[in-house]
Structure 1
Amino acid sequence: MEYEEYYYELEYNNWTYWRGNWTQEEEKPYLIHYLVFDVVLLILTLVGNSTVLVVIINVAQRSRMSFYFKNLAVADLLCGIFYIVPRIVRHCNDGHFYGGSTLCKLQEYLANVGIFGSITVMVALSLDRLHLLLRPFGSQRVRGKYPILQCLLCWGTAGVVSIMGPVVFEYDPQYKDCYLDLDKTEYKIYFHTIFVVVFIIPTMILLICYSVIAVIICRVSRKDTGIESTEIPSSNRRQLSLLSSKRNSHSSGSEQREPTLSKSQTKTIKMTFLIVVAYFCCWAPYMIVTLLVIHGLIYISTPVNIFINGLLPLNSVVNPLIYVAFSSRLLKKFRKKINRRLCTTRMT
Structure 2
Amino acid sequence: MADVDIRRAAYDDTLKTAIYTMLTAGGVGPIARGRVLIKPNLLLAAKPEQAVTTHPQVVRAVVQFVQDHGGRPVIADSPAVGSMSRIGRLGGYREALKDLDVPFQAFDTETIVDIGPPFREVPLARQALEADAVINLAKFKTHSQMTLTLGVKNTFGCVVGLKKPEWHMRAGLDKTLFARLIVQIHQAIAPAFTVIDGILGMDGDGPGKAGRPVPLGLLIGSRSAFAADHAVCDLIGMPPEGLPTLAAAEILGISHDPARITGDGPDRIAFRLPEAGTARFGPGWLQPLLRRHLLRRPVADVDKCRLCGECWQYCPADAIQCRDDRLRFDYNRCIRCYCCIEVCPHGALTSADPLPARLMRGLWPGKR
Give the helix-richer structure, 1 or 2. Answer: 1
Q: TM-score, normalised by structure 2?
A: 0.22
For the pair shown, the structure with the greater C-alpha radius of gyration is 1
Which structure is richer in relative contact order (CA contacts within 8 A, separation 6 or more)? 1
Give the strand-richer structure, 1 or 2. Answer: 2
